[in-house]
Amino acid sequence: MDITPLVPEGRHVIESYGDEGFRINGERYAGPVIVWPEGVVPWAVSDIATAAIETLDAMFAAEPPIEILLIGSGATFEMAPPALRKALGARSIALESMDTGAACRTYNVLMAEDRRVAAALLPTSTG
C-alpha cells in the first residue's frame, strides 16, 4: 500500500537536504533557502542570529498569505531571535524553530495537507 501523500501539482516539495543545500522539485539550491508551496528563493542569512524580518520579505508576497513559518537552524536546534518571533507575531504568522531535518519533514507534511506554511532553512553543515 502506497502511503505517500498526494501533493497538488505545482507545489514545492523538499526532496533532500544536506551540508551544502537542498533539492526542491528536482532543482538544486546551494546555501540557505526560503520555500513555500508556490515559491523558493535564496535566504540571505549566515546563521540563525542574523535572521531578521527583513530577510523574509519574498515570503510575504505569497497569496494566500503564509500562516506558519518553520525555521530550520542547521544540524542542531537553535531558537530564532526574539525580535523575529515578535515581528512575525505582529503579522499573525506562527513561528516554530527546529533543526533543518525536522523543518524539512514538517514543511512537506503541512504543505501536503494544504496548510499555508513556509520554511526558512539553513544547510546542515556545522562549520
The Cα–Cα gap between 102 and 105 comes to 5
When pLDDT is cut at 50, 70 and 90, the band that residue 125 belongs to is confident
The residue extents of the domains of the chain are: 32-121
Q: How many CB atoms lie within 10 A of CB 45?
A: 18
Cell output for 90: 505582529
Number of residues assigned to the chain: 127
Given a cut of 80, is residue 111 above it in pLDDT? yes
**Across residues 110-119, what is the average pLDDT?**
95
Q: What is the pLDDT of residue 117?
A: 98
Q: What is the pLDDT of residue 46?
A: 92
CATH classification for the domain delimited by 32-121, as one of 3.20.10.10, 3.60.20.10, 3.40.1230.10, 3.30.420.40: 3.40.1230.10
Given a cut of 80, is residue 127 above it in pLDDT? no
Question: What are the tens digits of pLDDT across the range 46-57?
Answer: 999 999 999 999
Q: How many helices (H) and strands (E) does the chain have?
A: 2, 8
Q: Pick from 48, 115, 43: which is nearest to 79 by CA?
A: 48
Question: What are the tens digits of pLDDT across the range 14-73?
Answer: 999 999 899 999 999 999 999 999 999 999 999 999 999 999 999 999 999 999 999 999
Q: What is the pLDDT of residue 110?
A: 96
Q: Report which secondary-structure segment, H or E, holds 109.
A: helix 100-112
Give the C-alpha distances (Å, rounded to integers) separating 84 from 11, 60, 69, 81, 93.
Answer: 26, 14, 11, 5, 11
